[in-house]
């Protein structure tokens, strides 16, 4: 991602999808309206985009990109014309960073695994400056962060925790000028130069935010903060009010948080989410609230009205499935090791837990009257438990062993007399397997809509029931990975979706319009 010098536009690099026509490309969009202004490089890039950067001196007319192909090709684009200005191969190993020099658009820098290369763009060609960026002694394993000083020095952080400053001499060669050894424990993921000459560095493993005085030879500025383990390591530093002396910052962390504060004040959470894969989603039966649980062992209750976190607790193991009791008093989550945990839905406190075999619990659902709890396991078995003492006691009632493959979904009939289930044996259950897996479905409470999430990252909305082959639907590309779960809220006003590897959590407004296809979803 790169921010245009005008601060109006943003460029993002998109990875290639699984479908044949889902090519890697760059999108430039207005960060206020979210409208796409340009789609760049379709059928040009390999696999994905690993770094992007707008030029500074010509007011952002150029955009540099490095792709994820074997040669990590560096290309410079006139992005408004979708035209390549110049390109070259960079390095066969991983490229992590890339940028235009802020003082000269003809100078570019790329860096990554055991390399930092300086490039000069001359007459439609990009040539490497082999005299610049030469390390003294052993090269760092990775260059992990890069920033520029007001005088044009290039500042890098690496995986050994060092901060290096590269200055340009009279021969226009960038040489090592300063070295802050072991500034952090292991990787320096981010660097930010403030307008007063203070350099801020953020560490991953040590979770430290440290200040350095660039005007006095990069000596420590006697100011540092260490984030809590719950916050995670620092990945990005942004000034809240650039150029002002209030010192307020936004920090993005490795635990998927955005926090705000300063070196002198306490940091508070602005936005938080799950930091690992997200599969478990359950909606409250009669309130504007929903629950998520992830591989990060966290269980979260959210308000769909305010988009705020109501409570968050940790459980022993990664979570894969979740459900509410019909009265909304209990929330139950299933884990990857066969343990299920029952929580008080109002405050997240532990009510009970029970070990159900050793395999992961892929699906979990209360009967309509709340007297039974069904769990579909990866050991091909459905476990039925009686729910006693308002959910404080669970007693094993039955084992259903009819399946020959692991369970994926279970659902009760409205009277609680029947239980239907789906397993992972696609040859048995699906006559036309086309490579696109349907991961999750949800029927609206009114019974006239069906939401579907698939393995290509698409959310689809159908009428229910859909009795014709190739039934018409509305569809939206939600994410680059799986759509792992989808649920309507109890009043059908909103739809919730979760992503897998990207841990995305999205809320969609269900809008009613005139005509045959009267229902549509809009991301909210």
Can you give the CATH number for the domain in which 78 is found?
A: 2.130.10.10
In the predicted structure, residue 429 carries a pLDDT above the cut 60: no
Residues 117 and 1 in one domain: yes
Residues 155 and 236 in one domain: yes
Residues 152 and 40 in one domain: no
Q: What is the mean pLDDT of the segment spanning 333-350? A: 97
- Which of 387, 405, 427 is at the close of a domain? 427
Q: Which of 343-352, 423-432, 485-494 has the lowest mean pLDDT?
A: 423-432
Q: What is the mean pLDDT of the segment spanning 392-402? A: 89
What is the number of alpha carbons within 13 Å of residue 424 lying toward its C-beta?
12
In the predicted structure, residue 208 carries a pLDDT above the cut 80: yes
- Containing domain of residue 524, as a range? 434-524
Give the pLDDT band of residue 63 (cuts 50, 70, 90): very high
* Domain tally, the chain: 4
96 domain-assigned: yes
Angle among Cα 389, 393, 397 to the nearest 5 degrees reads 110
103 domain-assigned: yes
- Which of 427, 462, 489 is at the close of a domain? 427
Q: What is the mean pLDDT of the segment spanning 278-284? A: 96
pLDDT of residue 17: 79
Contact (CB, 8 A) for 449 and 443: yes
Residues 125 and 177 in one domain: no
Residues 512 and 414 in one domain: no
Average pLDDT, the chain: 90
Strand 2-3, strand 9-14: pairing: antiparallel
Residues 53 and 13 in one domain: yes
195 domain-assigned: yes
In the predicted structure, residue 511 carries a pLDDT above the cut 60: yes
Q: Which range, 405-414, 472-481, 508-517, has the best average confidence (pLDDT)? A: 405-414
Angle among Cα 209, 211, 212 to the nearest 5 degrees reads 140
> Quick one: tokens of 24?
């890697």
215 domain-assigned: yes
> Quick one: tokens of 27?
């999108």
Give the pLDDT band of residue 523 (cuts 50, 70, 90): low
* H or E element that contains 306: none
279 domain-assigned: no
Non-local (6+) Cβ contacts of 442 within 8 A are: 450, 451, 486, 487, 488, 495
The closest of 402, 408, 321 to 366, measured between CA atoms, is: 321
CB neighbour burial string for 9-21, b if at least 16 within 10 angstroms, e if fewer = bbbebbbbbeeee
392 domain-assigned: yes
pLDDT of residue 238: 94
pLDDT of residue 143: 96
Residues 117 and 17 in one domain: yes
Question: Could you read off the pLDDT of 94-153 as tens digits, one per residue?
Answer: 999 999 999 999 999 999 999 999 999 998 999 999 999 999 888 999 999 999 999 999
In the predicted structure, residue 428 carries a pLDDT above the cut 60: no
Residues 289 and 221 in one domain: no
In the predicted structure, residue 517 carries a pLDDT above the cut 50: no
- Which of 130, 164, 192 is at the close of a domain? 130
Residues 387 and 454 in one domain: no
440 domain-assigned: yes
> Quick one: tokens of 512?
């009613």
> Quick one: tokens of 23?
């090519």
Strand 208-213, strand 198-203: pairing: antiparallel
φ, ψ of residue 426 in degrees (nearest 5): -65, -35
Residues 250 and 293 in one domain: no
Contact (CB, 8 A) for 310 and 290: no
119 domain-assigned: yes
A 10 A CB-CB count for 38 gives 18
What is the value of pTM for the model shown? 0.83
The closest of 282, 360, 353, 287 to 320, measured between CA atoms, is: 360
Per-residue DSSP letter, 406:
-
Residues 118 and 47 in one domain: yes
Residues 337 and 451 in one domain: no
> Quick one: tokens of 45?
């890039």
Contact (CB, 8 A) for 9 and 29: yes
φ, ψ of residue 414 in degrees (nearest 5): -65, -25
């Amino acid at each position: 991602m790169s921010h245009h010098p005008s601060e109006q536009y943003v460029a993002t690099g998109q990875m290639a999808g699984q479908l044949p026509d889902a090519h890697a490309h760059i999108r430039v969009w207005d960060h206020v309206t979210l409208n796409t202004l340009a789609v760049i490089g379709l059928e040009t890039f390999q696999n994905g985009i690993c770094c992007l950067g707008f030029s500074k001196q010509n007011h952002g007319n150029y955009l540099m990109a490095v792709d994820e192909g074997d040669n990590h090709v560096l290309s410079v684009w006139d992005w408004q014309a979708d035209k390549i200005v110049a390109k070259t191969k960079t390095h066969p190993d991983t490229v992590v960073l890339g940028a235009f020099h802020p003082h000269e658009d003809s100078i570019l820098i790329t860096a990554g695994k055991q390399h930092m290369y300086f490039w000069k763009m001359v007459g439609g060609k990009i040539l490497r400056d082999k005299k610049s960026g030469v390390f003294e002694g052993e090269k760092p394993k990775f260059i992990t962060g890069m920033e520029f000083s007001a005088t044009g020095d290039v500042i890098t952080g690496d995986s050994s925790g060092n901060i290096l400053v590269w200055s340009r001499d009279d021969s226009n060669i960038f040489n090592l000028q300063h070295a802050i050894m072991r500034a952090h424990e292991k990787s320096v993921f981010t660097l930010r130069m403030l307008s007063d000459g203070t350099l801020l560095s953020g560490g991953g493993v040590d979770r430290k935010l440290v200040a350095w005085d660039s005007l006095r030879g990069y000596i420590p500025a006697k100011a540092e903060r260490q984030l809590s383990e719950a916050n995670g390591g620092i990945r990005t530093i942004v000034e809240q009010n650039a150029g002002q002396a209030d010192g307020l910052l936004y920090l993005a962390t490795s635990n998927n948080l955005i926090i705000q504060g300063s070196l002198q004040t306490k940091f508070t959470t602005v936005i938080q989410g799950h930091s690992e894969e997200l599969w478990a989603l359950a909606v409250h039966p009669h309130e504007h609230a929903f629950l998520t649980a992830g591989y990060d062992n966290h269980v979260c209750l959210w308000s769909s009205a305010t988009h705020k976190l109501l409570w968050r607790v940790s459980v022993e193991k990664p979570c894969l499935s979740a459900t509410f009791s019909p009265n909304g008093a209990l929330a139950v989550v299933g884990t990857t090791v066969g343990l299920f945990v029952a929580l008080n839905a109002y405050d997240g406190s532990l009510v009970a837990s029970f070990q159900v075999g050793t395999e992961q619990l892929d699906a979990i659902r209360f009967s309509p009257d709340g007297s039974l709890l069904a769990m579909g396991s990866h050991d091909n078995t459905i476990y039925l438990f009686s729910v006693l003492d308002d959910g404080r006691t669970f007693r094993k009632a039955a084992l259903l062993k009819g399946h020959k493959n692991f369970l994926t979904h279970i659902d009760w009939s409205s009277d609680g007399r029947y239980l239907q289930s789906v397993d992972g044996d696609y040859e048995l259950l699906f006559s036309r397997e086309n490579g696109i897996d349907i991961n999750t479905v949800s029927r609206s409470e009114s019974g006239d809509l069906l939401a579907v999430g698939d393995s290509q990252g698409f959310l689809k909305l159908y009428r229910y029931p859909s009795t014709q082959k190739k039934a018409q639907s509305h569809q939206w590309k939600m994410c680059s990975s799986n759509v792992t779960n989808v649920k309507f809220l109890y009043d059908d006003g909103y739809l919730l979706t979760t992503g897998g590897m990207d841990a995305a959590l999205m809320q969609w407004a269900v809008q009613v319009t005139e005509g045959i296809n009267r229902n549509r979803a809009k991301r909210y």
